[in-house]
Amino acid sequence: QPVIQLRDIEKVYQTKTIETVALNRVNLTINKGEFVSIMGPSGCGKSTLLSIMGLLDEPTGGTIALDGRPVQSYSDKELASLRNHKIGFVFQSYHLINDLSVLDNVELPLLYRPGVGGKERRERAYAALEKVGLGARTNHFPSQLSGGQRQRVAIARALAGRPEIILADEPTGNLDSVMGEEIMDLLLGLNRQEGTTIVMVTHDEQQALKTQRLIRFFDGSQVS
Q: Which stretch binds ligand ADP (CB under 6 A): 27-35, 37-45, 100-108, 149-157?
A: 37-45
Number of residues that bind ligand ADP (CB under 6 A): 15
For the bound state, the minimum distance from the C-beta of residue 58 to ligand ADP, rounded and expressed in Å, comes to 12
Q: Does 92 bind ligand ADP (CB under 6 A)?
A: yes
13 binds ligand ADP (CB under 6 A): yes
Distance CA 93, CA 140 (A): 18
**Smallest gap, in angstroms, from Cβ of residue 38 to ligand ADP?**
9
Q: Which stretch of DSSP H or E encloses residue 213?
A: strand 213-218
Q: Report, in Å, the least distance between residue 42 CB and ligand ADP.
A: 4
Q: Per-residue contact track with ligand ADP, 142 to 181, x per CB under 6 A?
A: ---------------------------xx-----------
Using CB under 6 A, which of 48, 151, 191, 222 touches ligand ADP?
48
Can residue 218 be called a binding residue for ligand ADP (CB under 6 A)?
A: no
Window of 42-50, 107-115, 159-167, 189-197 that interacts with ligand ADP by CB under 6 A:
42-50
Angle at 190 between CA 161 and CA 149, to 5 degrees: 75
Residue 200, strand partner residues: 37, 168
Other CB atoms within a 10 A radius of the CB of residue 2 amount to 13
CB 188 within 8 A of CB 210: yes
Backbone angles phi, psi at 50, to 5 degrees: -65, -40
Strands lying side by side in the sheet with 35-39:
87-91, 165-169, 197-201, 35-39, 213-218, 221-222
- Please, which residue, 51 or 138, has the CB nearer to ligand ADP? 51
Candidates 3, 9, 30, 47; binder of ligand ADP (CB under 6 A) is: 47
Give the number of C-alpha atoms closer than 13 A to the C-alpha of residue 122, restricted to the C-beta side. Answer: 3
Q: Residue 191 to residues 66, 139, 197, 199, 218: CA-CA distances in angstroms?
A: 19, 28, 6, 10, 27
Q: Is 46 in the site for ligand ADP (CB under 6 A)?
A: yes
Contact 23, 59 (CB under 8 A): yes
Q: How far is the CB of 224 from ligand ADP (least distance, A)?
A: 16
Residues of this chain that bind ligand ADP (CB under 6 A): 13, 20, 22, 40, 42-48, 92-93, 169-170
